[in-house]
Structure 1
Amino acid sequence: MGSKVISNAKEFYNILRSLQDEGRNDPCTFEEDIQMLKTNGDRIPVLNMYCGNQSVFICEKAESNVPKMNEPEDQLMTETSNCTDGDEADDDGDYVAADCDASALQTELVPEPLTIMKARQLLSWYTLSQNVNVSAVENNPALHPLWVRCDMSDPAGTAWFGAETVCMGNKVSGVKLHSVTCKGSTVDKKSLITLDELKQEHKRRCHPSSCFQMAIKGSARFLLLGSTVVENTLIKSQSSVTVDFKWSHVESILETPPLSSTATLNIKVACGEMRSPMFEMYRELEFLQTLADGLRTGETEWMEPLESASAVNLTKAFLEELQNTAKTPQDQTAKPAETTKLKSEKDDPIFNSLLERGDLDFVEQLWVRMRKSVISYQDIGDCLKLVTEALRYGDIKPWIHRDSSSSLSKLILQSYHKQIDHVSLTGLTPVHMLLEMGLDKMRKDYINYLIGEELTTLNHLCYYLSTDVDLQEQVIRLRKLHHLLEIILTCSTFLGLPYDRLFLLTQSCLQHYKTYPYDENHEFKLQIKPALISHFYQKEHPVVWGVEVSSGNGAREVRTSLQLSDRPLVDHIIFDTDYTNETVNGGSEDPAFFSTMVCCGLANFA
């Protein structure tokens, strides 16, 4: 019997070791019905508390389409159905077969747990394989932590079992054994475990010599901005701003974080939401992106025009306005033109923006008119033809900013000397010229705000303002700059953050986007003082509240924690509850919380 157990432990170790060494993250099966995979702990909420982004092994009930361990790769490719790409196939309309639909549905199922007995067996094999004191067990290198999904069939309601090695030097000296127990949501605070009961649970699991040095830490997360419930109706938002608090000296369960806490904002902002102060600028950016996509793909889906007049008529009227202005005395030329420009722009809501400028030059004013009215390539060509002819015949002598870099700006500079290069307004050339005009104008809009608010300097914007890269890359960098401003204005408008925090956030975003691709799902972090947002959270309920009791030091530290959350932290169990996630904390004075407790014990190898 003992040799059989050792043999099973060795086999289990070898499979885990191969997953660890090969660097593959695709799942495999073990003993026909167990799925094993390697992932990062921060991808699973309940494990993130202990593992962070550390690599871990996950064991769960196998799905039928998961390949078996040690099968040849070409055989796996043959046996894997194309239905696993069901989402893409459905989008393309390639097939609608019933068996493919079933397979696509299967890939979306939540992970399934193993029985408590099987989970304990896997943990015992993991522990035996790491214990050099057990006969016939070699001095194996340490494995990643192992976590097993459980079906909560035991009296404690265990949802996870975990094990991780403890090392002294290069030698494994023991393992930490974890258990995660869960309870469904309740509004009855009296049914929750008390702080004293949590301490007693910790003492029961830790070594007596270290229990008298217990440390207690609190944590909480509040939602400051995101999806909200108004009169039992969920208003969804892709943007969210949450704040994480951490503090010591916890006195009671669900206590409000003290002002001495450390606080970190987690900022994720999606562009294009109507409540954003940048919404009008976003619409302008979308038109710019339409032009860029047209140059890249050869196809353009034109946006609905914002003006009833045609692009050509708007351009003609603009040129006639300039010609009439030119007939006035020279010392009165600039002022009337500026007055007319501001009036015409302010009449339209598109200019009612925090980034509104009063110094739009000729090219920028032309861009504004064209981008609100253009609906075809022909429109662009006809409008630019009118402008180039007016320049060539000296009908207009418009002013432009010195640092303008578009092709049309260069033609205007040449017109000052009555030497204009011939431009063939055929093919994609007009689109190319209009895209340059928009890039020039919007870059100045963003610079005007960032520099005007003293949030950065031109030196720090060089990457975003460079015209040495192709137009597609310029558009990407402009989108990054737009996203940065969405973030800054969200924190300024909705949270009222002071200048020093906005300055720090601006620098962080600028530095991030110099290295990383555009990503609206990225969470930007910002340290703040709790007093700055106390009016947001002190009368609100947390979405997550936690307390942790710990003792010991370093690798031998033992922790016992409790997490109370507005939704379950375990994704493989369906909890019975009378409360829905969307309305539980939106329309109830007493919120419902799911309870998750993580206990840890240290097993030393003699």
Structure 2
Amino acid sequence: MGSKVISKAEEFLNICRSLQEKESSDSCLYEEDIQILKTNGDKIAAVNLYCGNQTVFVCEKAVPKLSEPNDEQGMETISDADDGCDVLQTEQGPQPLTVTKARQLLSLYTLSQNSGVSAVDSSFVLHPLWVRCDMSDPAGTTWFGAEPVSVGNKVTGVKLYSVTCKGSTVDKRSFPTLEELKQEHKKRHNLPSMGVKGNARFSLFGSTVLENTIIESQSSVTVDFKWSHVESVLEDPPLSSTATLNIKVSSGDMRSPMFEMYRELEFLQTLADCLKTGETEWLEPLESTSAVNLTKAYLEELQNTAQTSQDQVAKTAETTKLKSETDPPIFNCFLERGNLDFVEQLWIRLRKSVTSYEDVRDSLKLVIEALRYNDIKPWIHRDSSSSLSKLILQSYHQQIDHVSLTDVTPIIMLLEMGLDKIRKDYINYLIGEELTTLNHLSYFLSTEVDLQEQVVRLRKLHHLLEIIVTCGTFLALPYDRLFLLTQSCLQHYKTSPYDEEREFKLQIKPALISHLYQKEHPVMWGVEVSSGHGPREVRTSFQLSDRPLVDHVVFETDYPNETVNGDTEEPAFFSTMVCCSLVSFT
């Protein structure tokens, strides 16, 4: 019997070792019905508590493909009488193993790492192992974990973890006290000293509740607190805590002061897509007057004026101001510019009215003819780089190159106009607020790359502005924090692709945001009792959260989660307990 177990441990070691060494592979099958995944621990909430910054193995039940004839239909429900909750398993999501099977896998893993078992090559240190469990035991275990403890290249022991969960409740009396958690830790680890640390997360910006309806948002700003000297469960983080903002902002949120700018950028992207695919899905026009008629009216306005260029600049600024008064007031205070030149004002009219390729072509044809016949002498910015701006400069000397408005030329010309205008808008805000310098923006403002890349870089800059404006408007962060956040975003986007799922981090003093979280309920609160040092440190943690930290079970409870932005007096919390045991091989 012993040799059979050792043989299975050796087989398990070889499978895990092969998966660990193959960079191109991230999963494999074991015993046909168990899937072993190789992933990062921070992608799994419960595992992230202990193995967040390292690669781990995750064992779960292999899910048959939908096309297979033996595919299981429907849902399997397992009732847990002790916890009073139901566990719903769906074939689409990750499937847990039985607690008994999970224990067997942990035993094989532990044997494979034990240098005292001569028949097994334990010199190869495996990634930590985590196994999904079905809560079929009285404790309601959702995860088992194992992590090698090494001294040099030699494994001297294994830390074994168990994660148990309970459904949500508003009854705080059901939570263990801090003293009870300490006693639970002492049962497993009879060490002379213990440390206690607290952590909490609050949501500062995200989904909101309006008339009992949750308005979902893809943007979120949360703050993580960490502190020592915890005195009670669910205590408020002290002002001496370390605090880190987690900022994830998606463009297009109608609540954002940048929403109008986003719509402008979307039109720019439409033009860029047209050049790439040859097809255009024109946006719904914001003006009832046609693009051609708006252009004619604008040219006639310029033709009829007898003012000097300087007066025209003043009039342009005044016209811009009057026009922008119809825009959202918050938007005005951030990106309003009073020095829009002729090309920029033409862009504004066209982007709100064009509905076809012909609109663009015919409007530009009117402008070029007016320039050729010297009907207008428009003012433009000195650093304008669009094709139309170059024609205007030529018109000052009554020498205009011939432009054939065929094929994609009109689209290119309009795209260049928009790129020029939006770049100046962004420069105006970032430089005006002293958040960066032109030198640091050179990558994003370069016109040396092709038009598609220029649009990509402008989208990156827009995302940066969405982040900065959100934090400045809704969180009222001071200048020094916004400056650091700007530098962090600029540095990231110089080398990384556009990614709205990216979560930016920012250290902050709790006192700066205390008014935002002290009257709110945490979305997560935890306490950790620890003892020992280095690789032999052992921890017992207790976490409360507004949603479960496991994704392979669904809890049926009588207390729905209604804690969005703290709109209820007594929030319901799910509880998660993680216990650790240290098994020494020597």
Tell me by how many angstroms 1:109 deviates. 1.9
Tell me by how many angstroms 1:522 deviates. 0.6
569-578 or 193-202, larger mean C-alpha shift: 569-578
Aligned equivalent of 1:409: 389
196-205 or 331-340, larger mean C-alpha shift: 331-340
Aligned equivalent of 1:536: 516
> Is the contact between residue 563 and residue 571 of structure 2 (CA under 8 Å) also seen in structure 1?
no
Cα deviations across residues 245-283 of structure 1 (Å, max 9, x unaligned)?
Answer: 000000100000000000000011111111110111111
Tell me by how many angstroms 1:9 deviates. 0.9
Q: Does 1:62 align with 2:42?
A: no
SS of alignment partner, residue 334 of structure 2 = coil
Q: Does 1:205 align with 2:184?
A: no
**Amino acid in structure 1 at the alignment position of 2:174:** S
> Is the contact between residue 231 and residue 587 of structure 1 (CA under 8 Å) also seen in structure 2?
no
Q: Does 1:124 align with 2:107?
A: yes
Tell me by how many angstroms 1:334 deviates. 4.0
Q: 1:497 to 1:329 in 2, by over 3 A?
A: closer
**2: distance between equivalents of 1:174 and 1:12?**
18
Aligned equivalent of 2:8: 8
Aligned equivalent of 2:467: 487
**2: distance between equivalents of 1:353 and 1:433?**
29
Q: 1:433 to 1:3 in 2, by over 3 A?
A: same
**2: distance between equivalents of 1:115 and 1:536?**
43
**1: distance between equivalents of 2:166 and 2:234?**
16
Aligned equivalent of 1:73: none
Cα deviations across residues 211-258 of structure 1 (Å, max 9, x unaligned)?
Answer: 222111100000011112233211111110000000000010000000
**2: distance between equivalents of 1:453 and 1:431?**
33
RMSD: 2.1
**2: distance between equivalents of 1:335 and 1:255?**
59
Aligned equivalent of 1:276: 256
| TM-score in terms of structure 1 length | 0.90
* Gap runs ≥5 in structure 1: 66-80, 85-96
**Amino acid in structure 2 at the alignment position of 1:521:** E
> Is the contact between residue 203 and residue 222 of structure 2 (CA under 8 Å) also seen in structure 1?
yes
Q: 1:238 to 1:331 in 2, by over 3 A?
A: closer
Q: 1:101 to 1:365 in 2, by over 3 A?
A: farther
Within the candidate set 450, 467, 486, 2:430 is matched to 450
**2: distance between equivalents of 1:405 and 1:556?**
63
Aligned equivalent of 1:342: 321
Cα deviations across residues 302-350 of structure 1 (Å, max 9, x unaligned)?
Answer: 111111111111111111111122x246774543454344334435659
Tell me by how many angstroms 1:352 deviates. 4.0
Q: Does 1:51 align with 2:51?
A: yes
Aligned equivalent of 2:236: 256
> Is the contact between residue 316 and residue 339 of structure 2 (CA under 8 Å) also seen in structure 1?
no
Cα deviations across residues 366-393 of structure 1 (Å, max 9, x unaligned)?
Answer: 1111111111111111111111111111
Aligned equivalent of 1:147: 130
SS of alignment partner, residue 484 of structure 2 = helix
SS of alignment partner, residue 578 of structure 1 = coil
**2: distance between equivalents of 1:525 and 1:338?**
39
Aligned equivalent of 1:36: 36
> Is the contact between residue 162 and residue 579 of structure 2 (CA under 8 Å) also seen in structure 1?
yes
**Amino acid in structure 2 at the alignment position of 1:335:** A
**1: distance between equivalents of 2:316 and 2:568?**
58
Q: Residues 388-407 of structure 1: matches in 2 within 5 Å?
A: 388-407=368-387
Q: 1:373 to 1:349 in 2, by over 3 A?
A: farther
Aligned equivalent of 1:91: none
Aligned equivalent of 2:21: 21
**2: distance between equivalents of 1:390 and 1:108?**
67
Tell me by how many angstroms 1:601 deviates. 1.1
Q: 1:63 to 1:344 in 2, by over 3 A?
A: closer
Aligned equivalent of 1:170: 153
SS of alignment partner, residue 121 of structure 1 = helix
Q: 1:501 to 1:434 in 2, by over 3 A?
A: same
**Amino acid in structure 2 at the alignment position of 1:198:** L
Q: Does 1:366 align with 2:366?
A: no
> Is the contact between residue 585 and residue 592 of structure 1 (CA under 8 Å) also seen in structure 2?
no
**2: distance between equivalents of 1:540 and 1:488?**
23
**Amino acid in structure 1 at the alignment position of 2:29:** T
**1: distance between equivalents of 2:289 and 2:424?**
27
Q: Percent of aligned positions with the same letter in both sequences?
A: 75
Aligned equivalent of 2:486: 506
**Amino acid in structure 2 at the alignment position of 1:127:** T
